[in-house]
Amino acid sequence: MKKAYYYFLFRIYWYYKIRWGESEGEAIFGVVTVSTLFLFFNFFAIETIFIILDIFPSNIIIDLTFMLLFAIINYFLFIRDKHFLNCKKSRKKDFLVITYMILSFALTIFVANINRQKVYSEKPPLPEHLRKESLEGRIRDWIRDL
């Protein structure tokens, strides 16, 4: 698993360093940022499942704290020593990295959609006197009256 993560870091580094010609510091910053975002997407999906199951409530402060902790731990445990630079390019591993990225986004969107449905099902409907007429409704009425 560690080798797979190192290869993921290597491909991010290669993208910033070789493809965009960034300096060493900028490439490392890009590796920290992108890899932390992917870790956070996975954490956020798991956290949302716990929220859906009413295990604990959502809190933006906790989320931002975890994101900062992910970045610090990610840097000190995996990125600072630059062991990921010893990886060699491989098409099979590239496919796995792309698959991981797609699955991370898909899982996050899927779980967020389930959470949105749960929130709307729990939310009581607005009383009739508080509902505002939509612009779409006005346009439909205007076209019907023509």
CA distance 24 to 26: 6
How many C-beta atoms surround the C-beta of residue 38 within 10 A? 19
Residue 115: exposure state from Cβ atoms within 10 A (0-12, 13-18, ≥19): middle
Phi-psi region of 124 (alpha: psi -120 to 50; beta: other; left: phi over 0): beta
How many C-beta atoms surround the C-beta of residue 36 within 10 A? 20
Q: What pLDDT score was predicted for residue 145?
A: 87
Per-residue pLDDT of the chain (146 residues; tens, 9 = 90+): 888 999 999 999 999 998 888 898 999 999 999 999 999 989 989 988 888 888 888 788 988 998 999 999 999 999 999 999 999 989 999 999 999 999 999 999 999 899 889 888 888 877 776 777 778 888 888 898 88
CB 32 within 8 A of CB 79: yes
Q: Is the dihedral of CA 8, 34, 19, 103 positive or negative?
A: positive
CB 46 within 8 A of CB 30: no
Q: What pLDDT score was predicted for residue 134?
A: 79
